[in-house]
Amino acid sequence: MRSLVVLARWPAPGRCKRRLARSCGSAVAAAAVQRALTGHTLAVARSAADRCAARLELAVDGLGERALRRWGRQLGVPRSVPQGHGNLGCRMQRQLQRAFAGGATQVVLIGTDLPTLERCDLEAAFAALEHTPLVLGPATDGGYWLIGLNRRGQTRAAARLMSGIPWGSERVLASTVAVAEGLQLPIHLLRRQSDLDARDDLTAWIRPAADRWSR
C-alpha cells in the first residue's frame, strides 16, 4: 500500500509560515496565499493518488482534531490527522511512523508551498521507491520539498534520518544526504523546485489569492 501525506497549516492570519508572512507583507495576505497553495497542492495530490493507487492523507498543524477532520472533509480528503508537536523533523518522522504502522509499504510526504508541483513529480517519487529506499526533492533554498521512503528505507533509517538536521537552514538537504550516506541508504533525487518563501516568488500569487480570500 502507498501513502501520500500532505503536510498543511490551517490558512488563517497569524498561523502561516513566518517567512511567508514577511514576504507577503501581512498575515492576511500570507493566509490568502497559503489557502490558494493548499488547494493547488491537494488538486495535484488527488490526481497523483488516483493514478498511483495511493491513500491520500492530510496532516494538519494549527487545528484541533475535530476541526481538522471537518476541514479535511471540506477539502475532500478522506483522512486527516494532526501533525503533533516538535520541530519539522519530529513531525515528519511521526507521520512516517504512523503511515508505515498502518500498513504502508511506500510513504511520500510533501508540503503545500510548491506552485510548480505537478502530478508527474509525485508519480516519479512513487516509481523511484520501487527500487530506491529514499527519494528527495531538492529545493532551491537548500532544503527539500518532498521526502519518500519505502519500508526498507524506514527500517534502516528509522528516526536517524531526521536527527541533527539544521531545520530552516540552507544545509537541510546536504545534511540529510550526509546522514543517508552514513547509513548506506541509496537516494534518488527528483527535479529541483522553488517554494514560496521570497517576495520575488510570490508575484503571481498574492493578488489572485487575496481576491479569492476576500470572497
Q: How far apart are CA 183 and CA 13, in angstroms?
A: 41
Domain ranges of the chain: 2-195
Q: How far apart are CA 38 and CA 27, in angstroms?
A: 16
Please tell me the CATH code under which domain 2-195 is placed.
3.90.550.10
Q: Please check whether residue 96 is in contact with residue 154, taking contact to mean a CB–CB distance below 8 angstroms.
A: yes
In SS3 terms, 142-182 reads as: CCEEEEEEEHHHHHHHHHHHHCCCCCCCCCHHHHHHHHHHH
What pTM, to 2 d.p., does this model score?
Answer: 0.88
Q: Calculate the CA 98 to chain-centre distance.
A: 15
Residue-wise pLDDT for 2-57, tens only, equals 999 999 988 766 666 666 666 666 667 777 778 888 889 999 999 999 999 999 99
Which position has the grid cell 512516517?
96
Q: Please check whether residue 16 is in contact with residue 9, taking contact to mean a CB–CB distance below 8 angstroms.
A: yes
